Structure 1
């Protein structure tokens, strides 16, 4: 084999240009860097200038392409026309006669300033190819230089998973050839990882399958450090753009034991791992932002074969990027394997893919094994030695973990487990910090001591608005601008000011929602909530008891059929109180009166009293 010049190798690695002389395949897929790397800076990183493809196919859409939304609609119509009904996930956790076994590999980007083996800065949203060192693109003569600071978040992640930190770990080369890996191998810790033998405990509130009961424990085989690959963006016309900013970013790969037997539990585990990594500041980007990806290994076997029978042939589904995708892909692959076996076929060990909105997995390639990857110790990197003093210091500074945090939210603040879990998971954990900021400011305004016993009304009010009302803002703007310390486009102090007036019944819920929109749109300046209420004369001046009673009399008049329903309940002829009819009358009262002066709770109280004391006795007398 002839030797290639450095210039020729550079053209191939950086711009995808390949000398076709002597090649058997004359039309290789064109791989273009998003930005051409043009010069080397003194810091040994590359700067970039934007390069655009000169071909028309990079900007045109193939004539046969169909929008994803239309594909999903067509699939839904076809399913409806076939008369088949899609099973609900709650009813789709098991298949009679079969046992599912799942193991998961989770790749999480560590929260570090530098890459794993080069001094280039980590980058998530910067200009493509603007943070690339010589070693990142395997320039001849470049050597890996382990960055010790990447070890800190990795150890914190392993400790959160209750792993045993190994005093000595080593790096290996995992060989494979793809355009997203310039060197032709990935550096990982296959044989000697830095952490082993951990566990993660999942409860019913984490969303595990009902078949798993109240608690399930999943073992963590090992946690290893490895480098990420380039980011590939597919374009029309068989063109792929590469961003080498992601090459060499430090990852931890968390490998579970094959102890998961239900799809919902698998999704719950990935969600719990994301919460744990965010809580210890090991990984600041979740699945939604692309900072965490999951590969699932799926196999099935007949329950009649017994627990001692070997597991079935496993397939791997790569790069699942949402909790829903984890559960849906496992269900689809489980059903596919069962169908193959029931038809007398054989399940092949292979790597498969999953797309949003799919109903089945698709084959990508044959499954590589240890021999295919040709693992070998990396000769350019020495062992990593982790001292007990470092482990002890990091263990003592982990802070509050998610389970303890949820217990606090449920026990001290009175939240439901579902709301507590939602606060913990939204915005990569920043929403719960925002809630605490709002609650502290609200208690200050109300003059409440944070450690005093209360009915939790203030905490429940703050949680409801932080979850639901704030969530409605994202229907028009997907980004609240939430920061890790719990601030966003609606300052916590302004939301606390709105809620303090609402808590004291000084404004109505409608006015409070209007004020929230005003703050979000920056129509109300920071700290100007009370002044806005004054300027608009928006203070709540509630109707008197007599005025409520007059409205109640007005709406009840002519509603003989509705009154008959209440009378049937009072006489024991109906089992349930007609709450829907009562709220129908309350709605009529709210529409008949002045909304800015009415409280729905007061309207319901007065109406209920009028029914019991006036109208129902009169109806019985008749």
Structure 2
């Protein structure tokens, strides 16, 4: 396999009235597990069904209904962790996260706060200019999705669709390693690519199968290096979370808008409040949604209906042995075996279907000529 080496990309700086500022970004990506059934019930996960038609007694929180873990969802989370070169925790546990929304029938969400199924991993984020950043993944935990409140069907009433309630999500939490809006979009693109190769999430952002919460803070040059040396977050600015982003373009816009807002506050002598915000692309602004909750605000406690989850190392090893070839390995092989440029290999491996088609075309033919035909003729048409 050809060893690909990269320089680190330049850190995004923003000129304020008094100082230059650097961006520090972390992301919490919610990826819907590709499974026909929900995490704790046999109800369908099919998107686009009639409202409230994919709902079991467990999803609707009927009295006495007990959750039963869907083993396939566990397998998909383990497969994802292995694809991100992450530590797989053989012992994990589910907790109740208590909060009250109209579209959350139980009044709590079953999640994993203290003992997630997947530990630390990494994602190599290539920027397309010969640079790349290694973004560390802190953890992946599993949780139920909530339902959906619909506000545009009636001027006086809101409607609730709980089809999505109980669908299995993987929350993929990165370290604050992303240093600019383009890197944030590239990270999400690469993560989506890996999940699609693994078959663990379809990556459809329009249907909400993949969405991101983006944590943004600012710091003076040199402060991030102090954080890296000490792991002391006091060297970084107060972060604000921009909730439920499902567009690469809007993510980049929102990061710059939020950074500018924070710079204005700090240079004006104020302090940034840690909070959850929403991005309004029409107005080009972020606005406050709620103060950022801490773990104690949700009154987490171990779910009394679910035993701790224990899996065997042999089972994990079997999943790992059957992983598909992942994007970085496939790209490296295309460069090595077919004599492709880094750019051509990147284009051809962006989607698994394109990579597979190219390999069929290139059988018995010149690799570079085949790549030119697929990229320029086929894709162009």
TM-score, L = length of structure 2? 0.87
1:129-144 aligned within 5 A: 129-144=52-67
Residue 221 (str. 1) matches residue 133 (str. 2): no
Preserved CA contact (<8 Å) 2:219 2:237: yes
1:343 maps to which residue?
268
The aligned counterpart of 2:6 is none
2:311 is the alignment partner of 1:386: yes
How far apart, CA to CA, are the structure 2 residues paired with 1:282 and 1:310?
36
Task: Kindly state the Cα deviation for residue 408 of structure 1 after the two structures are TM-superposed.
Answer: 3.6
Distance (whole Å) between structure 1 residues aligned to residue 222 and residue 74 of structure 2: 46
The alpha-carbon distance between structure 1 residues 92 and 154, as it changes in their structure 2 partners (threshold 3 A), is closer
Looking at structure 1, the residues matched to 346 and 286 of structure 2 have their Cα atoms a distance apart, in angstroms, of 30
Matched residues in 1 for 2:302 and 2:195: separation?
28
| In structure 2, C-alpha distance between the alignment counterparts of 1:414 and 1:360, rounded to whole Å | 46
The structure-2 alpha-carbon separation of the partners of 1:118 and 1:304, relative to structure 1 and needing over 3 Å to count, comes to closer
Could you tell me how far 1:431 is from its partner in structure 2?
Answer: 4.1
Distance 1:285 1:268 in 2: 14
1:202 and 2:114 aligned: no
Match of 1:456 in 2: 368
The answer on whether the counterparts of 1:275 and 1:424 sit within 8 Å (CA) in structure 2 is: no
Residue 320 of structure 2: SS of its match in structure 1?
Answer: helix
Distance (Å, rounded) in 1 between the aligned partners of 2:371 and 2:132: 28
Structure-2 residue corresponding to 1:232: 149
SS of residue in 2 equivalent to 1:165: coil
Q: CA deviation at 1:91?
A: 11
1:266 aligns with 2:164: no
For the pair 1:313 / 2:232, whether they are aligned, the reply is: no
Alignment of 1:459-478 (within 5 A): 459-469=371-381
Q: CA deviation at 1:148?
A: 1.3
Aligned-partner Cα distance in 2 for 1:306–1:321 = 28
Q: Secondary structure at the match of 2:13?
A: coil
Could you tell me how far 1:162 is from its partner in structure 2?
A: 0.8
Change (3 A) 1:466 1:246: farther
Matched residue, 1:93: 12
Match 1:192 to one of 107, 115, 122:
115
Larger Rg: 1
Aligned length: 361
SS in structure 2 of the partner of residue 127 of structure 1: coil
* Distance apart, 1:355 and its partner CA: 3.4
1:411 Cα deviation after fit: 4.5
Match of 2:44 in 1: 121
Match of 2:3 in 1: none
Name the SS for the 1:465 alignment partner. Answer: helix
CA drift at 1:362: 1.4
Q: Which has the higher strand share?
A: 2
Please give the alpha-carbon distance, in whole angstroms, between the structure 2 residues aligned to 1:375 and 1:178.
16
Partner of 1:291: 209
Q: What CA deviation, in whole Å up to 9, does each residue of 1:339-377 have, x standing for no partner?
A: 111111211111101134552211111111112111111
Report the CA distance shift for 1:462/1:180 in structure 2 as closer, same or farther (over 3 A): same
Q: CA deviation at 1:455?
A: 6.2
Is 1:182 the counterpart of 2:105? The answer is: yes
Kept after mapping to 2: 8 A contact 1:413/1:460: no
Deviations 1:230-273 (A, max 9, x none): 13333052543322111101111111111222121111111111
Q: Is the 8 A contact 1:167 1:386 kept in 2?
A: yes
Asked if structure 1 preserves the Cα contact closer than 8 Å seen for 2:344 and 2:371, the reply is no
CA shift, 1:165, in A, is 0.6
Query: Where do residues 527-566 of structure 1 align in structure 2 (5 Å cutoff)?
Result: none
| C-alpha deviation, 1:287, in angstroms | 2.0
Please give the secondary structure, in 2, of the residue aligned with 1:361.
strand
Higher RCO (Cα < 8 Å, 6 or more apart): 2
Shift of 1:289: 3.9
User: SS in structure 1 opposite 2:269?
Assistant: coil
List alignment gaps of at least 5 residues for structure 1: 1-89, 444-449, 470-622
Residues 373-428 of structure 1: CA deviation (Å, up to 9, x unaligned): 111111111111111111101111111101122234445456554454444445xx
CA contact (8 A) 2:276 2:290 kept: yes
Give the Cα–Cα distance (whole angstroms) in 2 for the partners of residues 177 and 420 of structure 1.
48
Unaligned segments of structure 2, at least 5 residues: 1-8, 227-233
Aligned counterparts, 1:418-457, within 5 A: 418-425=343-350, 429-433=352-356, 435-436=357-358, 440=360, 450-451=363-364, 454=366, 456-457=368-369
Output the CA distance in 2 between the equivalents of 1:381 and 1:169. Answer: 11
2:171 maps to which residue? 253
Over the residues paired in the alignment, what is the CA RMSD in angstroms?
2.4
Give the alignment's TM-score, normalised by structure 1: 0.55
Task: Kindly indicate whether the alpha-carbon contact (under 8 Å) linking 1:423 and 1:467 is maintained by their aligned counterparts in 2.
Answer: no
Query: What corresponds to 2:230 in structure 1?
Result: none
Work out the CA distance in 2 between the residues paired with 1:393 and 1:120.
28
Q: Larger helix proportion, structure 1 or 2?
A: 1
Q: CA deviation at 1:430?
A: 3.6
